Chains A and B, each alone.
Chain A
Protein backbone atom coordinates (compact mmCIF):
# COMPACT_ATOMS: atom_id res chain seq x y z
CA UNK A 1 0.00 0.00 0.00
CA UNK A 2 1.17 3.56 -0.58
CA UNK A 3 2.79 5.61 2.16
CA UNK A 4 -0.11 8.01 2.46
CA UNK A 5 -2.47 5.15 3.21
CA UNK A 6 -0.18 3.50 5.71
CA UNK A 7 -1.56 3.04 9.20
CA UNK A 8 -0.06 5.40 11.70
CA UNK A 9 2.61 3.69 13.85
CA UNK A 10 1.04 4.76 17.13
CA UNK A 11 -2.41 6.01 18.09
CA UNK A 12 -2.86 9.77 18.15
CA UNK A 13 -3.42 9.73 21.90
CA UNK A 14 0.38 9.57 22.11
CA UNK A 15 0.28 13.21 21.03
CA UNK A 16 -2.14 14.46 23.65
CA UNK A 17 -1.02 13.34 27.07
CA UNK A 18 2.73 14.03 27.43
CA UNK A 19 2.83 17.81 27.19
CA UNK A 20 5.89 19.74 26.00
CA UNK A 21 7.82 21.88 28.45
CA UNK A 22 8.42 19.41 31.26
CA UNK A 23 11.42 19.53 33.57
CA UNK A 24 13.25 16.43 32.27
CA UNK A 25 16.88 16.51 31.14
CA UNK A 26 17.74 16.55 27.40
CA UNK A 27 17.15 13.12 25.96
CA UNK A 28 15.41 11.72 29.04
CA UNK A 29 13.80 8.32 28.37
CA UNK A 30 11.00 8.88 30.90
CA UNK A 31 8.65 11.12 28.90
CA UNK A 32 9.38 8.85 25.93
CA UNK A 33 8.12 5.85 27.90
CA UNK A 34 5.14 7.86 29.14
CA UNK A 35 4.26 8.64 25.53
CA UNK A 36 4.00 4.93 24.72
CA UNK A 37 1.93 4.43 27.86
CA UNK A 38 -0.43 7.18 26.78
CA UNK A 39 -0.74 5.66 23.31
CA UNK A 40 -2.43 2.70 25.03
CA UNK A 41 -4.36 4.34 27.85
CA UNK A 42 -4.79 7.98 26.83
CA UNK A 43 -6.07 10.17 29.66
CA UNK A 44 -7.80 7.27 31.35
CA UNK A 45 -5.01 6.37 33.68
CA UNK A 46 -4.09 7.18 37.25
CA UNK A 47 -0.33 7.21 37.72
CA UNK A 48 0.71 6.50 41.30
CA UNK A 49 4.18 8.04 41.48
CA UNK A 50 6.57 7.67 44.44
CA UNK A 51 9.73 9.72 44.91
CA UNK A 52 11.65 9.42 41.63
CA UNK A 53 12.63 11.51 38.64
CA UNK A 54 9.07 11.55 37.35
CA UNK A 55 7.74 13.24 40.48
CA UNK A 56 9.90 16.21 39.57
CA UNK A 57 9.74 15.98 35.77
CA UNK A 58 6.01 16.68 35.74
CA UNK A 59 6.70 20.13 37.13
CA UNK A 60 5.60 22.34 39.97
CA UNK A 61 2.27 23.40 41.48
CA UNK A 62 -0.15 24.43 40.14
CA UNK A 63 0.72 22.71 36.85
CA UNK A 64 1.73 19.28 35.60
CA UNK A 65 3.10 18.15 32.26
CA UNK A 66 0.74 15.17 31.90
CA UNK A 67 -2.85 15.26 30.76
CA UNK A 68 -3.72 12.31 32.99
CA UNK A 69 -4.29 11.72 36.71
CA UNK A 70 -1.37 11.59 39.14
CA UNK A 71 -1.14 10.76 42.83
CA UNK A 72 2.24 11.57 44.38
CA UNK A 73 2.97 9.10 47.17
CA UNK A 74 5.64 8.22 49.77
CA UNK A 75 8.74 6.54 48.41
CA UNK A 76 8.10 2.95 49.53
CA UNK A 77 4.35 2.96 49.03
CA UNK A 78 3.51 3.07 45.30
CA UNK A 79 2.19 -0.48 45.07
CA UNK A 80 0.17 -0.08 48.29
CA UNK A 81 -1.44 3.21 47.30
CA UNK A 82 -2.17 1.80 43.85
CA UNK A 83 -3.84 -1.21 45.52
CA UNK A 84 -6.05 1.14 47.53
CA UNK A 85 -6.96 3.20 44.47
CA UNK A 86 -7.84 0.08 42.49
CA UNK A 87 -10.07 -1.28 45.27
CA UNK A 88 -11.84 2.06 45.64
CA UNK A 89 -12.53 2.29 41.91
CA UNK A 90 -13.85 -1.27 42.03
CA UNK A 91 -16.25 -0.36 44.86
CA UNK A 92 -17.36 2.68 42.90
CA UNK A 93 -17.96 0.68 39.74
CA UNK A 94 -15.37 2.60 37.70
CA UNK A 95 -13.71 0.08 35.39
CA UNK A 96 -12.38 2.07 32.42
CA UNK A 97 -9.51 3.75 34.23
CA UNK A 98 -6.16 1.95 34.52
CA UNK A 99 -4.34 2.24 37.84
CA UNK A 100 -0.61 2.30 37.15
CA UNK A 101 2.16 2.37 39.75
CA UNK A 102 4.94 4.23 37.91
CA UNK A 103 8.18 3.93 39.85
CA UNK A 104 11.93 3.96 39.34
CA UNK A 105 14.33 1.19 40.27
CA UNK A 106 14.90 2.78 43.68
CA UNK A 107 11.25 2.80 44.65
CA UNK A 108 10.73 -0.72 43.31
CA UNK A 109 13.80 -2.87 43.84
CA UNK A 110 15.04 -1.28 47.04
CA UNK A 111 12.83 0.72 49.38
CA UNK A 112 9.60 -0.49 47.81
CA UNK A 113 10.45 -4.18 47.43
CA UNK A 114 8.28 -5.43 50.30
CA UNK A 115 5.37 -3.33 49.13
CA UNK A 116 5.64 -4.61 45.55
CA UNK A 117 5.89 -8.17 46.80
CA UNK A 118 2.79 -7.72 48.95
CA UNK A 119 0.70 -6.28 46.13
CA UNK A 120 1.91 -9.02 43.76
CA UNK A 121 1.10 -11.79 46.24
CA UNK A 122 -2.42 -10.38 46.70
CA UNK A 123 -2.72 -10.22 42.90
CA UNK A 124 -4.00 -6.65 43.10
CA UNK A 125 -5.53 -5.48 39.82
CA UNK A 126 -2.86 -2.90 38.99
CA UNK A 127 -0.20 -2.39 36.36
CA UNK A 128 3.18 -1.90 38.00
CA UNK A 129 5.80 -0.30 35.79
CA UNK A 130 9.39 0.03 36.90
CA UNK A 131 11.34 2.32 34.62
CA UNK A 132 14.93 1.24 35.09
CA UNK A 133 17.57 3.94 34.78
CA UNK A 134 19.86 1.84 36.96
CA UNK A 135 20.51 4.22 39.88
CA UNK A 136 18.85 6.70 42.24
CA UNK A 137 18.93 9.35 39.55
CA UNK A 138 16.64 11.93 41.10
CA UNK A 139 18.83 12.38 44.16
CA UNK A 140 22.04 12.57 42.15
CA UNK A 141 23.03 9.22 40.63
CA UNK A 142 23.55 7.06 43.73
CA UNK A 143 23.84 3.30 43.36
CA UNK A 144 20.72 1.12 43.51
CA UNK A 145 20.42 -2.67 43.48
CA UNK A 146 19.59 -2.31 39.77
CA UNK A 147 22.90 -0.65 38.92
CA UNK A 148 24.98 -3.00 36.75
CA UNK A 149 28.35 -4.39 37.77
CA UNK A 150 31.24 -1.99 37.32
CA UNK A 151 29.20 1.18 36.89
CA UNK A 152 30.34 4.46 38.35
CA UNK A 153 27.80 6.10 40.66
CA UNK A 154 28.27 8.80 43.26
CA UNK A 155 28.24 6.16 46.02
CA UNK A 156 30.54 3.83 44.08
CA UNK A 157 32.77 6.57 42.70
CA UNK A 158 36.12 4.81 42.56
CA UNK A 159 35.60 1.05 42.67
CA UNK A 160 32.32 0.96 40.73
CA UNK A 161 29.41 -1.26 41.75
CA UNK A 162 30.62 -4.61 43.03
CA UNK A 163 27.44 -6.62 42.59
CA UNK A 164 25.48 -7.64 39.55
CA UNK A 165 22.16 -6.11 38.62
CA UNK A 166 19.23 -7.30 40.77
CA UNK A 167 16.72 -9.12 38.59
CA UNK A 168 13.34 -7.80 39.69
CA UNK A 169 11.46 -9.35 36.77
CA UNK A 170 12.51 -12.83 37.88
CA UNK A 171 11.35 -12.02 41.42
CA UNK A 172 7.93 -11.17 40.04
CA UNK A 173 7.87 -14.35 37.94
CA UNK A 174 8.49 -16.26 41.18
CA UNK A 175 5.35 -14.57 42.58
CA UNK A 176 3.43 -16.20 39.73
CA UNK A 177 1.54 -13.06 38.78
CA UNK A 178 -0.56 -13.07 35.59
CA UNK A 179 1.87 -10.98 33.52
CA UNK A 180 5.55 -10.06 33.68
CA UNK A 181 7.46 -8.42 30.85
CA UNK A 182 10.70 -6.63 30.14
CA UNK A 183 10.77 -3.78 27.64
CA UNK A 184 12.93 -0.92 26.45
CA UNK A 185 12.48 2.65 25.28
CA UNK A 186 14.52 1.57 22.27
CA UNK A 187 11.68 -0.65 21.09
CA UNK A 188 8.47 1.39 21.45
CA UNK A 189 6.26 -0.91 19.39
CA UNK A 190 7.31 -3.89 21.48
CA UNK A 191 6.46 -1.90 24.61
CA UNK A 192 3.16 -0.81 23.09
CA UNK A 193 2.18 -4.41 22.39
CA UNK A 194 3.08 -5.45 25.90
CA UNK A 195 1.03 -2.64 27.39
CA UNK A 196 -1.93 -3.61 25.21
CA UNK A 197 -1.69 -7.19 26.37
CA UNK A 198 -1.45 -6.04 29.99
CA UNK A 199 -4.47 -3.79 29.55
CA UNK A 200 -6.66 -6.82 28.93
CA UNK A 201 -5.40 -8.90 31.85
CA UNK A 202 -6.97 -8.74 35.30
CA UNK A 203 -4.64 -9.07 38.27
CA UNK A 204 -1.08 -7.91 38.95
CA UNK A 205 0.91 -6.96 35.86
CA UNK A 206 4.57 -6.00 35.92
CA UNK A 207 6.57 -4.37 33.16
CA UNK A 208 10.20 -3.31 33.56
CA UNK A 209 11.29 -0.70 31.02
CA UNK A 210 15.00 -0.27 30.44
CA UNK A 211 15.57 3.49 30.35
CA UNK A 212 19.08 4.80 29.59
CA UNK A 213 19.74 8.06 31.41
CA UNK A 214 22.16 10.47 29.63
CA UNK A 215 22.86 12.39 32.82
CA UNK A 216 23.61 9.39 35.03
CA UNK A 217 25.17 7.03 32.50
CA UNK A 218 27.31 9.85 31.06
CA UNK A 219 26.54 9.88 27.36
CA UNK A 220 25.52 12.46 24.73
CA UNK A 221 21.72 12.87 25.05
CA UNK A 222 21.19 12.09 21.38
CA UNK A 223 22.22 8.45 21.97
CA UNK A 224 19.45 7.50 24.41
CA UNK A 225 17.62 5.34 21.89
CA UNK A 226 20.81 3.96 20.34
CA UNK A 227 22.11 2.83 23.74
CA UNK A 228 18.75 1.30 24.63
CA UNK A 229 18.94 -0.71 21.42
CA UNK A 230 22.55 -1.72 22.04
CA UNK A 231 21.61 -3.05 25.47
CA UNK A 232 19.27 -5.46 23.73
CA UNK A 233 21.53 -6.16 20.73
CA UNK A 234 24.41 -7.18 22.98
CA UNK A 235 22.13 -9.50 24.94
CA UNK A 236 22.63 -7.47 28.13
CA UNK A 237 18.94 -6.62 28.35
CA UNK A 238 16.66 -9.45 27.29
CA UNK A 239 13.13 -8.71 26.07
CA UNK A 240 10.58 -11.31 27.08
CA UNK A 241 7.10 -11.90 28.50
CA UNK A 242 5.79 -14.33 31.04
CA UNK A 243 2.09 -15.14 31.10
CA UNK A 244 -0.14 -18.22 31.22
CA UNK A 245 2.81 -19.97 32.82
CA UNK A 246 4.94 -19.58 29.68
CA UNK A 247 8.15 -17.66 29.09
CA UNK A 248 8.02 -16.10 25.62
CA UNK A 249 10.97 -14.26 24.13
CA UNK A 250 10.22 -11.05 22.23
CA UNK A 251 11.07 -10.37 18.60
CA UNK A 252 14.15 -8.17 19.01
CA UNK A 253 15.79 -10.60 21.45
CA UNK A 254 14.85 -13.84 19.73
CA UNK A 255 17.79 -14.07 17.30
CA UNK A 256 20.19 -13.55 20.18
CA UNK A 257 19.46 -16.97 21.64
CA UNK A 258 22.38 -17.72 19.37
CA UNK A 259 25.24 -16.04 21.22
CA UNK A 260 27.19 -15.45 18.03
CA UNK A 261 24.48 -13.02 16.92
CA UNK A 262 24.99 -10.77 19.92
CA UNK A 263 27.07 -7.65 19.45
CA UNK A 264 30.10 -7.44 21.72
CA UNK A 265 29.40 -5.87 25.08
CA UNK A 266 32.23 -3.38 24.57
CA UNK A 267 30.10 -1.62 21.94
CA UNK A 268 27.55 -0.93 24.64
CA UNK A 269 29.97 -0.08 27.43
CA UNK A 270 32.28 2.24 25.50
CA UNK A 271 29.51 4.76 24.77
CA UNK A 272 28.84 5.31 28.47
CA UNK A 273 31.10 7.45 30.68
CA UNK A 274 30.00 5.49 33.74
CA UNK A 275 31.98 2.49 32.51
CA UNK A 276 35.11 4.46 31.73
CA UNK A 277 37.21 2.90 34.48
CA UNK A 278 36.14 -0.63 33.67
CA UNK A 279 38.76 -3.40 33.71
CA UNK A 280 38.97 -6.55 31.55
CA UNK A 281 38.10 -8.62 34.62
CA UNK A 282 34.88 -6.77 35.13
CA UNK A 283 34.06 -7.06 31.43
CA UNK A 284 34.61 -10.80 31.78
CA UNK A 285 32.25 -11.01 34.71
CA UNK A 286 29.67 -8.97 32.80
CA UNK A 287 29.92 -11.45 29.93
CA UNK A 288 29.46 -14.32 32.38
CA UNK A 289 26.44 -12.54 33.82
CA UNK A 290 24.94 -12.14 30.34
CA UNK A 291 25.58 -15.78 29.55
CA UNK A 292 23.94 -16.96 32.78
CA UNK A 293 20.86 -14.82 32.07
CA UNK A 294 20.53 -16.41 28.63
CA UNK A 295 21.00 -19.88 30.12
CA UNK A 296 18.12 -19.24 32.45
CA UNK A 297 15.97 -18.05 29.54
CA UNK A 298 16.85 -21.12 27.48
CA UNK A 299 16.05 -23.40 30.38
CA UNK A 300 12.55 -21.99 30.90
CA UNK A 301 11.72 -20.90 27.37
CA UNK A 302 8.39 -22.15 26.14
Chain B
Protein backbone atom coordinates (compact mmCIF):
# COMPACT_ATOMS: atom_id res chain seq x y z
CA UNK B 1 0.00 0.00 0.00
CA UNK B 2 2.92 2.35 0.62
CA UNK B 3 6.56 2.40 -0.51
CA UNK B 4 9.24 4.18 1.47
CA UNK B 5 11.84 5.81 -0.76
CA UNK B 6 14.60 8.10 0.41
CA UNK B 7 14.27 11.62 -0.96
CA UNK B 8 16.55 12.48 -3.89
CA UNK B 9 19.22 15.03 -3.40
CA UNK B 10 20.90 16.13 -0.19
CA UNK B 11 17.88 16.25 2.08
CA UNK B 12 17.88 16.54 5.85
CA UNK B 13 14.60 15.13 7.22
CA UNK B 14 13.22 16.16 10.63
CA UNK B 15 13.56 12.66 12.11
CA UNK B 16 15.08 11.62 15.43
CA UNK B 17 16.27 8.22 16.62
CA UNK B 18 16.44 6.74 20.17
CA UNK B 19 19.65 7.50 22.02
CA UNK B 20 20.81 7.31 25.62
CA UNK B 21 22.00 10.65 26.97
CA UNK B 22 20.21 12.87 24.45
CA UNK B 23 20.67 15.82 26.84
CA UNK B 24 24.26 14.88 27.58
CA UNK B 25 25.63 13.29 30.73
CA UNK B 26 22.86 14.41 33.01
CA UNK B 27 24.80 13.06 36.00
CA UNK B 28 26.62 16.37 35.89
CA UNK B 29 23.42 18.07 37.07
CA UNK B 30 23.68 16.42 40.50
CA UNK B 31 24.23 18.26 43.73
CA UNK B 32 23.23 15.22 45.81
CA UNK B 33 24.11 11.58 45.14
CA UNK B 34 22.20 8.44 46.24
CA UNK B 35 24.18 5.86 48.22
CA UNK B 36 22.77 2.36 48.72
CA UNK B 37 23.11 0.36 51.94
CA UNK B 38 22.98 -3.23 50.67
CA UNK B 39 22.29 -4.70 54.11
CA UNK B 40 19.09 -2.74 54.69
CA UNK B 41 17.83 -3.30 51.14
CA UNK B 42 15.10 -5.94 50.74
CA UNK B 43 14.92 -5.61 46.93
CA UNK B 44 11.35 -4.41 47.04
CA UNK B 45 11.79 -2.59 43.67
CA UNK B 46 10.28 0.70 44.84
CA UNK B 47 13.40 2.68 43.89
CA UNK B 48 13.57 1.13 40.43
CA UNK B 49 9.88 1.69 39.76
CA UNK B 50 9.91 5.32 40.87
CA UNK B 51 13.24 6.52 39.43
CA UNK B 52 12.21 9.01 36.72
CA UNK B 53 15.41 8.66 34.74
CA UNK B 54 15.38 4.85 34.79
CA UNK B 55 18.96 4.53 36.09
CA UNK B 56 18.31 2.20 39.03
CA UNK B 57 18.37 -1.54 38.47
CA UNK B 58 17.35 -4.04 41.12
CA UNK B 59 18.80 -7.48 40.47
CA UNK B 60 17.63 -10.16 42.85
CA UNK B 61 21.12 -11.67 43.15
CA UNK B 62 23.41 -8.70 42.59
CA UNK B 63 21.47 -5.99 44.42
CA UNK B 64 21.04 -2.36 43.42
CA UNK B 65 23.04 -0.67 40.69
CA UNK B 66 22.76 3.00 39.80
CA UNK B 67 24.08 4.52 36.59
CA UNK B 68 25.76 7.62 38.00
CA UNK B 69 26.46 8.96 34.49
CA UNK B 70 22.77 9.87 34.24
CA UNK B 71 21.43 10.01 37.81
CA UNK B 72 20.23 13.60 38.35
CA UNK B 73 20.18 13.28 42.14
CA UNK B 74 16.49 14.11 42.56
CA UNK B 75 16.17 12.06 45.75
CA UNK B 76 12.91 10.27 44.96
CA UNK B 77 14.62 6.93 45.58
CA UNK B 78 15.50 8.01 49.11
CA UNK B 79 11.94 9.23 49.72
CA UNK B 80 10.21 6.05 48.52
CA UNK B 81 12.54 3.47 50.08
CA UNK B 82 10.60 1.89 52.96
CA UNK B 83 13.78 0.72 54.72
CA UNK B 84 15.97 3.80 54.51
CA UNK B 85 18.41 1.78 52.41
CA UNK B 86 19.17 4.71 50.09
CA UNK B 87 20.34 8.02 51.41
CA UNK B 88 21.26 11.19 49.54
CA UNK B 89 24.67 12.66 50.34
CA UNK B 90 26.24 15.80 48.85
CA UNK B 91 27.85 15.22 45.48
CA UNK B 92 31.58 15.91 45.72
CA UNK B 93 32.34 15.33 42.06
CA UNK B 94 34.77 12.47 42.50
Contact = CB atoms under 8 A, between A and B. Distances in A.
Assess A/B contact in the complex (Cβ within 8 A): yes
Interface of A: 3-4, 8-10, 14-15, 18-24, 26-32, 35, 58-68, 70, 91-92, 188, 214, 220-226
Given A21-B53, A32-B50, A225-B80, A27 B22 contact: no
Contact of A22 (B26, B69, B79): B26
A23 B51 CA distance: 15
Given A3-B60, A220-B75, A226-B79, A15 B54 contact: yes
Determine chain B's interface SS by DSSP, over half rule. Answer: loop
Contacts of A214: 74
Contacts of A226: 79-80
A64 B50 contact: no
A92 B1 contact: yes
Interface in B1-53: 1-2, 14-26, 29, 42-43, 45, 49-53
Given A21-B70, A26-B29, A9 B52 contact: no
Given A26-B72, A35-B54, A67-B18, A223 B79 contact: yes
A48 B68 CA distance: 31
Contacts of B19: 19, 59, 63-65
Contact of B54 (A19, A58, A225): A19
Contact of A20 (B2, B55, B74): B55
Nearest to B57: A15
Contacts of B2: 92
Contacts, number: 131
Interface residues of B, number: 41
Given A32-B52, A224-B76, A20 B21 contact: yes
B88 interface: yes
A35 B55 CA distance: 12
A3 B42 contact: yes
Contacts of A65: 18-20, 22-23
B91 interface: no
A58 B22 contact: yes
Given A21-B69, A35-B52, A59-B23, 18 more contacts: A3-B60, A18-B54, A19-B22, A20-B21, A20-B54, A23-B23, A26-B72, A27-B74, A35-B49, A60-B23, A63-B16, A63-B17, A63-B19, A65-B18, A66-B18, A91-B1, A221-B75, A222-B78
Nearest to A27: B74
20 contacts: A15-B57, A18-B53, A18-B54, A20-B20, A21-B21, A22-B26, A26-B73, A27-B75, A58-B16, A62-B16, A62-B17, A64-B18, A68-B18, A70-B16, A92-B2, A214-B74, A222-B74, A222-B79, A224-B76, A225-B50
Nearest to A10: B49
Contacts of A59: 16, 19, 22-23
A20 B56 CA distance: 10
A63 B25 CA distance: 14
A62 B69 CA distance: 21
Contacts of B78: 222
Top 7 nearest A-B pairs by Cβ distance?
A222-B75, A59-B22, A21-B21, A20-B70, A63-B19, A27-B74, A26-B74
A222 B86 CA distance: 12
B26 A20 contact: yes
Contact of A21 (B26, B73, B75): B26
